Structure 1
Amino acid sequence: MITDSDGPLPLPAWPQHGAEERAGLLRALEQEGWWRYGGGEVELFEREFAGHHGAAHAVATTTGTHALELGLGVLGVGPGDEVIVPAFTFIASSLAVQRLGAVPVPADVLPGTYCLDVGAAARLVTPRTKAIMPVHMAGQFADMDALRELSSATGVPLLQDAAHAHGARWRGLRVGELGSPAAFSFQNGKLMTAGEGGALLLPDGASHREAVLQHGCGRPPYDRVYAHLTQGSNYRMNEFSAAVLRAQLSRLEGQIAVREERWARLRKALGSLAGVEPQDADERCTVNAHYMAMARLPGCSAGRRLAVVEALTARGVPAFVGFPPVYRTEGYWRGPVRGTPGELAGRCPVAEELGRDCLWLHHRVLLADEPVVDRVADLFADALAAG
């Protein structure tokens, strides 16, 4: 076991940056304009990000939450509509729905991958359902085969929440090749980052034109007569963020390859510990981007899990408790809802369990050298014994 005499845990820093980001910031600084219609960085980033993910188009946004809002807006979601979301996810997934006046409908998730249970989602489709929002949890794809079948059978479109899935692949297909809009986040902890930011991938020209309008207050690009043609907001990304993200994109694939290797090693070590179940892999997810290294402590109380997380952080391991079910947050009940906490909990037993026993490690752990990954596993064992 590792003792304090081993010194600070030598994890890679995050975010990572270098000469490419510096050069990009100077390019943006020295342009004629610093907003997307005054320079070229945002447009170039959109083209490069869409191409990297196999999408026809991309629209860069201020945040990942705004990318979700924009995607819902493009799908025509509005007040009184329903959107099916996983119960176990960061609250941005349901919050984006509520900000448009629509009702998030939490569905349970699978106990192994923590992704949307498609059967549970199917049982919640009603005439009011305007979209289904799978979340690719920690880089592990939701079951896109079953989801696409459900979408085809019901006529309800999908909006992929791909905030954790930069560069991931399903059956060899990139996120943008799956035929539905997909929203990404570039918040400080994400796999690519400019501190904040987001992007929405779009499958065709019509949806792209609508997204461009909505993300600029309903106004066409380069309009000079204030022709606001639709509803929307100002979700436009600035040139500095786009310049940084172009550099971040250039190193994404190399980092994914390292994380894939290190997760196999860490997963094996964690899986050998009594009382620990690492997140499962769906073999159809041919590339997992590994935004988080997630695991469960089945049967563990929320208090004991917190003690394990605190023991890990005290030893320099960036550890966090898992998400509570969205309906277990106070903020959820401040927006449009249907049902009661008890009713939602009753139909989401797996999300309830995950809310108590799931924890995760920051993905920079998976960028560390192999001996450091082994040390993290030993520290996890120590924290489990102490907790």
Structure 2
Amino acid sequence: MAQNSRPKPEFPAWPQFGEEERTGLVRALEQGQWWRIGGSEVDTFEQEFGAYHGTPHALAVTNGTHALELALQVLGVGPGTEVIVPAFTFISSSQAAQRLGAVAVPVDIDPDTLNIDPASAANAITPRTAAIMPVHMAGQMCDMDALGKLSADSGVPLIQDAAHAHGAEWNGRKVGELGSVAAFSFQNGKLMTAGEGGLVTFVDAGQREEAFLRHSCGRPSTDRYYFHKTSGSNFRMNEFSASVLRAQLGRLAGQIDIRERNWPLLSGLLAGIDGVQPQTVDSRATRNPHYMAMFRVPGLAAERRNRLVDALIERGLPAFAAFRAIYRSDGFWETGAPRESVESIAARCPHTEAVHEDTVWLHHRTLLGTEEHMHQIAGIVSETLATL
């Protein structure tokens, strides 16, 4: 068969939904209270999600960016402080800190796992550092052993950006069991979704109580007289979103099982293509939900990588260019940027400089396909690379 006549693969659709979501929406509708203060869907979702992730202290919010911002505020991040973030991440990781008036300090990543490098994070700590933000890239958890030790030794708390890591585990421990705050996203492409939404898991009840106040304009849930105890904003999740997310949570484990089964096959096939390097899986990450199927083509310049992405899309693969290094986006410099040049940051982030140009990712719905799909993906990637 000629290379461009290969049929386009038909992957499972995303989002996935069914009667469980419909039932939940009707349940939320008929309870007659559509916001969290009078309803029960958000409260119940928090309990269910927290239990699944190993903590009783969960708070649902409007989106993943707000989840990060709220979590950072509870940790004391604000003007005059710094937050260490990986240079290779979606820009919400840095913007959440910057919107609080803090300085975001980008550090380099490991070129294999694509996660924050603990040694680079350690070198960036100053007396102003208020938090370190590991981002579990594509569901592959960061080195939480090294980062946990760094946090304990330095006294700087961790905040896990777990937007890609629903259901992930490190050495058999769930995200909420690792002793640090974590923030999740339920945006439309995420591993479970209500279109938008977010959630924070906390270490203790006191943190969760402060966060509740701040996510509800500083107002306690029992207040009748508009007595606002803290500053804050309206980050409350609505009842309809929570009802959908309860159903989505019920699907999560089975979907992770499928992706965990398919990734070793796809990864091996991709690794067999000359010049292709799949994201490495750390053996200590005992449960990886695989938000993205990521691979590098080291040495590929951004322009050719972008052509590769366009060609893969044309062949039927839901492909995307990797995140741009945060310091190479204009938005990073508008507020809360470090007092150094792009070139200075790039010089100390050589792995990020390479990765953000040579990496491609495929949407996780590809990993919900069949073994035949995995072979189709690898064949299309191989054929397409040969034409660049």
TM-score (norm 2): 0.98
The answer for the alignment partner of 1:246 in structure 2 is: 246
Structure 1 position 143 matched with structure 2 position 143: yes
Distance of 1:309 and 1:275 partners within structure 2: 16
Name structure 1 gaps, 5 residues minimum.
Answer: none
> Given residue 240 of structure 1, which amino acid in structure 2 is its aligned partner?
F
The answer on whether the counterparts of 1:15 and 1:188 sit within 8 Å (CA) in structure 2 is yes
Q: Which segment drifts farther, 127-136 or 5-14?
A: 5-14
The answer for the alignment partner of 1:190 in structure 2 is: 190
> Given residue 9 of structure 2, which amino acid in structure 1 is its aligned partner?
L
Structure 1 counterpart SS, 2:227? coil
Structure 1 counterpart SS, 2:20? helix
Name structure 2 gaps, 5 residues minimum.
Answer: none
> Given residue 375 of structure 2, which amino acid in structure 1 is its aligned partner?
D
Distance of 1:231 and 1:114 partners within structure 2: 36
Q: Deviations over 1:209-260 (max 9, x none)?
A: 1111111011111311111111211110000000000000001000001001
Structure 1 position 346 matched with structure 2 position 347: yes
The answer for the alignment partner of 1:355 in structure 2 is: 356
Q: Which segment drifts farther, 7-16 or 239-248?
A: 7-16
The answer for the alignment partner of 1:177 in structure 2 is: 177
Structure 1 counterpart SS, 2:361? strand
**Shift in Å, 1:2:** 6.9
**Shift in Å, 1:56:** 2.3
Q: Deviations over 1:142-180 (max 9, x none)?
A: 110011101111110000000000001000000000011
The answer on whether the counterparts of 1:2 and 1:378 sit within 8 Å (CA) in structure 2 is no
> Given residue 342 of structure 1, which amino acid in structure 2 is its aligned partner?
E
Distance of 2:335 and 2:312 partners within structure 1: 35
The answer on whether the counterparts of 2:3 and 2:383 sit within 8 Å (CA) in structure 1 is no
The answer on whether the counterparts of 1:321 and 1:359 sit within 8 Å (CA) in structure 2 is yes
The answer for the alignment partner of 1:132 in structure 2 is: 132
Q: Deviations over 1:81-133 (max 9, x none)?
A: 10000000000000101110101000100010010000000011001000000
Distance of 1:211 and 1:54 partners within structure 2: 19
The answer for the alignment partner of 2:370 in structure 1 is: 369
Q: Deviations over 1:269-311 (max 9, x none)?
A: 0000011000001110001110000010101110111111111
Structure 1 counterpart SS, 2:105? strand
Structure 2 counterpart SS, 1:366? helix
Distance of 1:5 and 1:382 partners within structure 2: 11
> Given residue 352 of structure 1, which amino acid in structure 2 is its aligned partner?
E
**Shift in Å, 1:382:** 1.2
Distance of 1:386 and 1:80 partners within structure 2: 51
Distance of 1:290 and 1:223 partners within structure 2: 42
The answer on whether the counterparts of 1:136 and 1:165 sit within 8 Å (CA) in structure 2 is yes
The answer on whether the counterparts of 2:313 and 2:319 sit within 8 Å (CA) in structure 1 is yes
Distance of 1:351 and 1:4 partners within structure 2: 33
Q: Which segment drifts farther, 221-230 or 250-259?
A: 221-230
CA-atom RMSD in angstroms: 1.0
The answer for the alignment partner of 2:68 in structure 1 is: 68
The answer for the alignment partner of 2:295 in structure 1 is: 295
TM-score (norm 1): 0.99
Q: Which segment drifts farther, 375-384 or 3-12?
A: 3-12
The answer for the alignment partner of 1:105 in structure 2 is: 105
The 5 Å alignment of 1:112-127 reads 112-127=112-127
The answer on whether the counterparts of 1:308 and 1:386 sit within 8 Å (CA) in structure 2 is no
**How many pairs align?**
387
The 5 Å alignment of 1:265-304 reads 265-304=265-304
Percent identity, aligned pairs only, is: 58
